[in-house]
Amino acid sequence: MSKHAPKSTDEFDYISWIRSELPPASPNLEVGPGDDCAIIRVERDREALKIDTTIEDKHFILADKGKKIAPTLGPGATPEEVGRKAITRCLSDMAAMGATPSAALVSVTLPTGASVALREKLFIGIAKTCATYGVTLAGGDTQGWDGPLSITVAMTGMMDGVRPALRAGAAPGDVVAITGSLGGSILGKHLRFEPRIAEGRFLADKGVSAMIDISDGLSGDLTRICEESGMRFAVGADLAAEAVPVSKSARRLAKLEGKGASRALHHALHDGEDFELLFIVKPNRWKKIVQEWPFDVPIRALGMMRPLRKGEPLVRILKKGEPEALEVMSWVHKL
In the three-class reduction of DSSP (H, G, I as helix; E, B as strand; rest coil), residue 61 is classed as coil
Say yes or no to pLDDT of 49 above 90.
yes
Distances 184 to 191, 204, 215, 313 between C-alpha atoms, Å: 12, 27, 13, 26
Distances 253 to 69, 154, 217, 256, 272 between C-alpha atoms, Å: 14, 33, 16, 5, 14
pLDDT of residue 24: 77
State the Cα–Cα distance between residues 194 and 85, nearest whole angstrom: 10
For residue 2, what pLDDT band results from cuts at 50, 70 and 90? Answer: low
Identify the bridge partners of residue 107 per DSSP, sorted by sequence position: 141, 152
Mean pLDDT, rounded, of the chain: 91
Higher-scoring residue by pLDDT: 98, 320? 98
Say yes or no to pLDDT of 27 above 60.
yes
Sign of the alpha-carbon dihedral angle for 295, 155, 218, 56: positive
Angle between helix 261-270 and helix 218-229 axes, rounded to 10 deg: 40
Domains located in the chain, CATH noted: 11-158 (3.30.1330.10), 175-325 (3.90.650.10)
In the three-class reduction of DSSP (H, G, I as helix; E, B as strand; rest coil), residue 76 is classed as coil
Say yes or no to pLDDT of 204 above 90.
yes
pLDDT of residue 23: 65
What single-letter DSSP state applies at residue 73?
G
pLDDT of residue 20: 81
Average pLDDT over residues 294-317: 96
State the Cα–Cα distance between residues 309 and 317, nearest whole angstrom: 16
